[in-house]
């Protein structure tokens, strides 16, 4: 959030409605839109924003309260939990250090892409952060790179931008979607295909970028102690602040 304005607002709302539907939680775009506007008004200008007016609004939707067990409550009354936090420190714009997580990421095809709270693998991976790591990248069981604990991936290979296929990733982030749209609009070639773990040793490799709607485009400067090339093309093409209405 910047003041009362939400970055990538429409993509966030659409994603929440779509994911809720996949999980069987009935919610409308209009209900969420209203809740977002109310929260933005209520929290903005409070202690949570930094000097630039940046803050984080978190909206958690649940299917509501029920008894023991996994079955849905007889009548579903979803709950929306809204919270505000201060904006975290921005990563170095020249790039960050990333490593590989040792726990594999196993994505159920029925749940691929859904931003849910079913994230024990990411929680376990996050215990492995060293002081230098800004992110840990998780691999699938065949060793391909899937995503960071809190970011999606975009690599530059020759003249092409490559991101792992939407059906293979745990969270289909709105920043990934926005970056793909911006690249296509700018006439760039974008492909969805697996990224091998030895990416950086491929002759056509020209850079790896982490995508997250809080931080935008974050270049990886060092991946598992290997220096990577970094340039500002993607950050210029896909600047989420340009979506502020």
Distance CA 229, CA 73 (A): 52
Tell which one of 65, 110, 187, 203 touches a second copy (CB under 8 A).
110
Three-class SS of 184-245: HHCCCEEEECCECCCHHHCCCEEEEEEEECCCEEEEEEEECCEECCCCCHHHHHCCHHHHCC
Q: Min. distance of Cβ 206 from a second copy in angstroms?
A: 30
Q: How far apart are CA 93 and CA 175, in angstroms?
A: 17
Per CB under 8 A, does 47 bind a second copy?
no
Residue of 45, 64, 72, 73 interacting with a second copy (CB under 8 A): 72
For 81, the enclosing helix (H) or strand (E) is strand 79-86
- Identify the residue among 60, 106, 202, 226 touching a second copy (CB under 8 A): 106
Nearer to a second copy, 68 or 225 (CB): 68
DSSP string of 28-64, one letter each residue: -HHHHHHHHHHHHHHHTTSTTS-TTSBEEEEEEEE--
- Please pick, from the candidates 51, 65, 75, 127, the single residue that binds a second copy as defined by CB under 8 A: 127
Window of 36-44, 89-97, 106-114, 186-194 that interacts with a second copy by CB under 8 A: 106-114
* Local structure of residue 101 (DSSP, 8 states): -
The answer to the question of residue 18 lying near a second copy (CB under 8 A) is no
Burial class of residue 192 in the structure, from the number of CB atoms within 10 Å of its CB (0-12 exposed, 13-18 middle, 19+ buried): middle
> Does residue number 79 form part of the binding site for a second copy (CB under 8 A)?
no
Q: Which stretch binds a second copy (CB under 8 A): 45-53, 102-110, 188-196, 219-227?
A: 102-110
Q: Which of 18, 48, 116, 239 binds a second copy (CB under 8 A)?
A: 116
**Which residues would be at the binding site for a second copy (CB under 8 A)?**
23-24, 56, 58, 67-72, 85, 103-104, 106-111, 116, 118-127, 129, 149-150
């Amino acid at each position: 959030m910047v003041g009362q304005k939400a970055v990538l607002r429409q993509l966030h709302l659409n994603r929440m409605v779509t994911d809720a539907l996949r999980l069987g939680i009935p919610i409308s775009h209009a209900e969420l839109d209203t809740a977002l506007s109310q929260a933005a008004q209520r929290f903005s200008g409070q202690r949570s924003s930094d000097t630039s007016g940046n803050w984080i609004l978190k909206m958690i939707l649940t299917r509501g309260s029920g008894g023991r067990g996994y079955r849905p409550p007889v009548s579903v009354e979803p709950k929306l939990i809204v919270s505000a936090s201060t904006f975290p420190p921005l990563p170095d714009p020249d790039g960050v250090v990333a490593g590989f997580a040792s726990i594999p990421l196993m994505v159920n095809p029925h749940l691929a892409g859904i931003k849910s709270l079913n994230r024990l693998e990411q929680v376990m991976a996050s215990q492995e952060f060293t002081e230098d790591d800004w992110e840990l990248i998780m691999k699938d069981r065949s060793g391909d790179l899937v995503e960071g604990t809190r970011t999606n991936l975009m690599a530059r290979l020759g003249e092409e931008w490559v991101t792992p296929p939407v059906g293979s990733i745990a969270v289909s982030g709105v920043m990934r979607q926005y970056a793909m749209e911006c690249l296509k609009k700018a006439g760039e070639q974008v492909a969805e295909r697996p990224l091998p773990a030895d990416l950086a040793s491929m002759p056509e490799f020209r850079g790896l970028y982490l995508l997250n709607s809080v931080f935008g485009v974050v270049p990886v400067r060092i991946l598992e102690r290997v220096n990577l090339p970094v340039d500002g093309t993607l950050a210029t093409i896909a600047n989420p602040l340009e979506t502020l209405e």
